[in-house]
């Protein structure tokens, strides 16, 4: 009976996941465009908060600095969400490519429960220790009240933010990239509407911005979970699959480690950055970095979306051993990524003042902000190669190489450059540390990626030759 049913079941799932047969450029467009739009909309969560807060008469640059100080903590939340979200999505896609559908369902259930438990853990730790944490992360006595008012509420919503972020990757890997995009639209749209109501209408200030954010994330989480509970969904969240299995959780986490490491390193980077900014430029410099962070989010989110679109295509075809399709889609993605980043680079060259004025118009912030935007993003066009090159190894189940390449920019290059350059050339040197790290890490990743592709081709040729010889002997 099972032999009769398996081919039919396999055919049904292949129709739902045409990752191994559809034209790669079509797949890239179908999976990446919704992800890019979704990530841009998702980026508006924090960016819109900063725009409203930075332009609020009674908050201004102090509020910008307050959110900037809390940013490393929010990055840590994101890190854990990606540890299980992207790790789960990668393993889920590989299992589908191997036609192991029951194992894919177990991956889905274990990913979901780990996101829930992680969100609860973050809420408990954050609510209990949020004031000491903010001081540790560089808050001055002037900025601390702003940070506390914002982050205390953000911690309450950890479970919403982490679960919605992580499960969105599973929704995309489940062959529903457009629905994943709509989910982000719903959440971010709610945030955009609620922000001015709470900040200006109810005069809640920093607390209002945070409350709007967690309500929006709660709606996103509800939307995603409801979809995975539908009977019409071929892969659903089921109670029996939510019992954590240590070996499976470990495999999921191992595949998510590169993204987790990247975001953890990013959090460490911002702690070092905030402390150095306070030392060499004071609270104004911290406020300016809040603007730079927001601009960086807007400029790089299309690349993150592209990366998310590429991942299931590469993972599925790696599981199906269709290596020529992997090479084709990687070439296409790198070209698109370079064009996107080059467009962002041109915007920072010609419109730095207009970019800064979106967030704050105070003279000190505007003057330093114009210089910071030009300096920090000087090597932006090469960032696409670095991110996509590292993701190739993650998507093909080699997390150690991916993690090493992912960490090369933040840990090996940027943090040391910030400390050394700021010591030698002050605040301006600190800001030029970013293009130095971008260029060096892109060169390193490009080299390893080139040899990784060659090794994959060579391994496939050796295997094909061996298989051919075995067939001749058998005949």
Give the pLDDT of residue 235.
Answer: 92
pLDDT along the chain (475 residues), means of 10: 44 57 87 81 78 87 92 93 94 90 96 97 94 90 94 96 94 86 85 92 93 94 94 92 96 88 86 93 95 92 88 87 91 95 96 95 95 97 94 86 85 94 96 97 95 84 51 44
User: Is 156 inside a domain boundary?
Assistant: yes
The tally of domains found in the chain comes to 1
User: Is 420 inside a domain boundary?
Assistant: no
Give the pLDDT of residue 97.
Answer: 84
User: Is 385 inside a domain boundary?
Assistant: no
User: Is 297 inside a domain boundary?
Assistant: yes
User: Is 23 inside a domain boundary?
Assistant: yes
CA distance 121 to 162: 11
CA distance 398 to 455: 13
3-state secondary structure of 432: coil
CA distance 106 to 416: 42
Give the pLDDT of residue 400.
Answer: 84
Residues with Cβ within 8 Å of residue 340, at least 6 apart in sequence: 302, 303, 306, 384
Give the pLDDT of residue 287.
Answer: 95
CA distance 183 to 37: 11
User: Is 39 inside a domain boundary?
Assistant: yes
The token duo for 30 is: 């179908």
Residue 71, number of CB atoms within 10 A of its CB: 26
pTM above 0.95, yes or no: no
User: Is 427 inside a domain boundary?
Assistant: no
Q: Which domain holds residue 261?
A: 15-321+356-377
Contact 296, 284 (CB under 8 A): no
User: Is 209 inside a domain boundary?
Assistant: yes
Hey, what's the torsion of the CAs at 160, 179, 32, 390, to 10 degrees?
A: 30
């Amino acid at each position: 009976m099972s032999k009769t049913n398996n081919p039919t079941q396999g055919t049904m799932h292949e129709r739902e996941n045409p990752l191994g047969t559809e034209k790669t450029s079509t797949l890239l467009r179908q999976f990446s465009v919704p992800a890019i739009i979704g990530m841009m909309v998702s980026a508006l969560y924090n960016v819109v908060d900063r725009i409203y807060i930075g332009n609020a008469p009674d908050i201004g640059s102090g509020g910008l600095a307050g959110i900037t100080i809390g940013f490393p903590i929010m990055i840590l939340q994101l890190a854990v969400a990606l540890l299980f979200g992207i790790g789960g999505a990668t393993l889920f896609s590989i299992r589908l490519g191997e036609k192991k559908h029951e194992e894919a369902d177990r991956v889905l259930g274990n990913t979901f429960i780990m996101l829930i438990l992680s969100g609860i853990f973050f809420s408990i730790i954050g609510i209990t220790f949020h004031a000491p944490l903010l001081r540790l992360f560089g808050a001055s006595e002037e900025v601390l009240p702003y940070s506390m008012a914002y982050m205390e509420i953000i911690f309450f919503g950890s479970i919403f933010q982490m679960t919605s972020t992580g499960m969105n990757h599973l929704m995309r890997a489940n062959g529903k990239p457009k629905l994943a995009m709509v989910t982000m639209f719903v959440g971010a749209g709610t945030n955009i509407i609620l922000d001015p109501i709470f900040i200006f209408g109810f005069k809640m200030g920093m607390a209002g911005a945070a409350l709007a954010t967690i309500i929006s994330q709660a709606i996103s989480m509800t939307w995603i979970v409801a979809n995975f509970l539908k009977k019409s969904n071929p892969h659903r969240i089921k109670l029996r699959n939510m019992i954590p299995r240590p070996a499976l959780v470990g495999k999921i986490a191992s595949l998510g480690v590169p993204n987790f490491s990247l975001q953890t390193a990013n959090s460490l980077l911002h702690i070092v950055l905030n402390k150095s900014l306070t030392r060499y430029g004071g609270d104004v410099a911290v406020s300016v970095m809040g603007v730079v962070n927001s601009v960086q989010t807007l400029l790089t989110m299309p690349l993150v979306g592209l990366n998310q679109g590429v991942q299931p295509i590469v993972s599925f075809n790696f599981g199906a051993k269709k290596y020529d399709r992997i090479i084709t889609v990687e070439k296409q993605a790198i070209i698109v990524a370079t064009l996107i980043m080059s467009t962002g680079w041109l915007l920072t060259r010609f419109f730095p003042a207009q970019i800064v004025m979106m967030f704050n118009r105070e003279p000190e912030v505007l003057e330093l902000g114009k210089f910071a935007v030009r300096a920090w993003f000087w090597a932006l066009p090469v960032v696409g190669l670095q991110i996509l090159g590292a993701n190739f190894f993650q998507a093909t189940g080699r997390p150690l190489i991916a993690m090493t390449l992912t960490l090369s920019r933040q840990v090996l290059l940027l943090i040391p450059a910030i400390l050394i350059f700021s010591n030698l050339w002050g605040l301006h040197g600190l800001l030029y540390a970013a293009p130095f790290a971008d260029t060096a890490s892109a060169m390193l990743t490009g080299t390893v990626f080139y040899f990784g592709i060659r090794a994959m081709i060579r391994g496939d040729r050796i295997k094909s030759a061996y298989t051919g010889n075995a067939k001749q002997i058998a005949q």
